[in-house]
Amino acid sequence: MTNNILLNMTGLPPFSKINLSDIEPAMDQVLKESREQVKHFLDGNTAYTWDNLVMPLELIDERISRIWSPVSHMNSVVNSDELREAYNACLPKLSEYSTEMGQNEKLFNAYKQISESDNFSQLDESQQKIINNSIRDFRLSGVELVEEEKLRYKEIMQELSNLTSKYEQNLLDATNVWKKEIQDVHLLDGLPESSKALAKQVAENEGKDGYLLSLEFPSYYPIMLYADNRELREEMHRAYSTRASDLGDTQWDNSPLMDEIIRLRQESAKLLGFNSYSERSLATKMAASTGQVLGFLNDLVEKSLPVAKKEHEELQAFAKKECGVDTLEAWDVPYFSEKLREHTYAISQEEIKPYFSEDNVLSGLFSVVNRLYGLEIAELDSIDTWHKDVRFFEIKDSHGELRGQFYLDLYARPNKRGGAWMDDCLTRLVIDDQVQAPVAYLTCNFSPPIGDLPALFTHTEVITMFHEFGHGLHHMLTKVDYPSVSGISGVPWDAVELPSQFMENWCWEKSALDNMAKHYETGEPLPDELFNKMIAARNFQAGMQMVRQLEFSIFDFRIHAELFKETGKETTEANGAGIYEILNQVRQKVAVVKAPEFNRFAHGFSHIFAGGYAAGYYSYKWAEVLSADAFSLFEEEGVFDQSAGKRFLENILEKGGSKEPMDMFVAFRGREPKIEALLRHSGITA
């Protein structure tokens, strides 16, 4: 076992040296050692303190996380059958360990003893937060249940771990398997030359002639946006919206998993004394009640829906006038929306791309961070990574102190999960004045370089990069020394999007774009005329975009509150309406774009069925109120005002999860957040 590199690694993970056969033995060993250590701490003391119990447990959890992190990450970005097998073998073991610790009554009582002791008030704010969070989480793990209920709760957690992983894997497999070969280039009429070149390059990489389309986003989205061939758009839309469903390749059908995931979540919530999983979800969030969340969402619907309906009517009229299309189908909306945008504002995403090459965008992003927070970012070579396209950077402050490091994996490829995300590799930890710098994974799925050209991004992709980097800054700039409330750890889910959405604002500022938007061939800056068109088009169809997100949020919250009813503490049964009945009810009230009968959106909604957003998708809009209001201070004082930047750094980014997010926001802004800035930024109100 001593030769197992996962058990012996220090610092950055040695990705190229990780043997997949070592993964399960490493996890078995570290979990065994952790159990023994916890027992030793509990048996060796009667008077528990931060030093003899809580901090040692922080170190135990940090070691487990450090070993599991590269395994979990590789499963998302370089998935393979062997890796998947090892990953899946470890999931129930990790779930069992987590629940076992959460239900350990002796450990629970030890934490309560510390919280009730005279010494508790002498602990610093972060230490007190960790202990209070832990006591809450013990209860949410079922520590106060009777033995039979504890056992059932543990079983549910293991089942959910397996089911959510299977859901994600089905979606990945269903996405990867679908391909369409095209020999006649005229079928791709309307597509930009860069999109055709990508399809040709993908075909060549697979040893095929002609062009190859897939359901990876850089391939799928240009078809929906630009392809003149309506039948091709419909075919691609049908394939994409039926992935992992009964109407797709049924060997990866998520249907049976979805009901079971919701049912088990409801049963677990009921065991803990909550009326629904939506209610259980809020136990660790900013929002106080299910009524407050639904009231917030419905208020946004009321303000946004009239705007969205008007935008859709304008789109329908345009499609009829330009092409004689009497009824807009779902696969028509992106296409005609892009045509209407070009018609109204004389601008297209493709026109902007030459000004956003990868290196220029990164340089501009790093310049924004430097001007706001005085930080320097530099690339490091010869760092071991999981793929040749991955880059690595470090962040230092004005005193030369290392604040954080990050991996950057920008391009879409087979066997890589779709979407964009930030995850933690290493968390800040201080022991005996020795600082473990936080390290982040920043992952996107953009179009790769084509031929000899650099990677060129749409402005939407630039926004995505800024968004994920905002998450990264939240993780890397923390000054909290204890892992469980350092960086993004311990931050309520409906506040975690604040730093990411906050960063997006600089993608619209001319003074920021001047350091970023330069033509990749000539070096010419983005012309004022083009920038002004971008600003004019910024809130194009903002109402339609708003109600789409509200549809997802309300659907998520309702299925976790209404799908099942309880017939006892340990049994649930269907409440009558199924997942798609509830989705259709929400759509009837909120949506303006009619979904086709074959649409199986929920089968691919991994945010809630496999990610961390179950009964929490509303967090995007909730946090957007915070981020818009936070940026309004910079609108008042200057978008690069260093005093405002220092306040955001010190009160939000550096604090991690060590304080309640509302207290941190008030410390930064001087008051509680207001919704007006969000409505104004979204174009819903003037």
Report the catalytic residues: 468
Could you give the CA distance from residue 643 to residue 631 in angstroms, rounded to a whole number?
A: 13
CB-CB contact of 445 with 416 (8 Å): yes
Sign, CA dihedral 109-115-117-122, equals positive
Which pair of tokens denotes residue 41?
A: 């701490």
Residue pointed to by tokens 């997942």: 579
Give me Rg for the CA atoms of the chain.
25
Burial class (CB in 10 A: 0-12, 13-18, 19+), 667: middle
In this structure, are residues 673 and 665 in contact, taking their beta carbons and an 8 Å threshold?
Answer: yes
Measured between alpha carbons, how far is 553 from 623 in angstroms, rounded to an integer? 13
CA angle centred on 289, ends 285 and 291, rounded to 5°: 135
Classify the C-alpha dihedral 197-523-356-333 as positive or negative.
Answer: negative
Do 649 and 639 meet the contact criterion of CB atoms below 8 Å apart? no
CA distance 659 to 498: 15
The residue whose two tokens read 């619907």 is 301
Q: Are strands 376-379 and 434-436 parallel, antiparallel or unpaired?
A: unpaired
Which 3 state secondary structure label does DSSP give 565?
strand
Which pairing describes strands 402-411 and 439-446: parallel, antiparallel, or unpaired?
parallel
Region of residue 591 (phi > 0: left; psi between -120 and 50: alpha; otherwise: beta):
beta
Distance CA 686, CA 676 (A): 10
Q: Please give the Cα distance from 684 to 678 (Å, whole number).
A: 8
Q: List CB contacts of 124: < 8 A, sequence separation 6 or more.
A: none
54 HSE (CA, 13 A, CB side): 29
Element (H, E) at 424: strand 421-426
Q: Which has the closest alpha carbon to 126: 428, 469, 423?
A: 428
Q: What contacts 45, CB < 8 A, 6 or more positions away?
A: 52, 53, 110
Handedness of CA 257, 260, 266, 271 (dihedral sign): negative
The whole-angstrom separation of Cα 622 and Cα 550 is 11
- Tokens 């056969």, located at residue: 21
φ, ψ at 423 (rounded to 5°): -140, 160
β-strand partners of 402 = 396
Residue 328 main-chain phi, psi, to 5 deg: -75, 120
Amino acid at 520: Y
Residue closest to 581 by CA, chosen among 563, 566, 567, 604: 563
| Among candidate residues 223, 130, 234, 24, the one with its CA nearest the CA of residue 484 | 130
What values do phi and psi take at 445, rounded to 5?
-135, 65
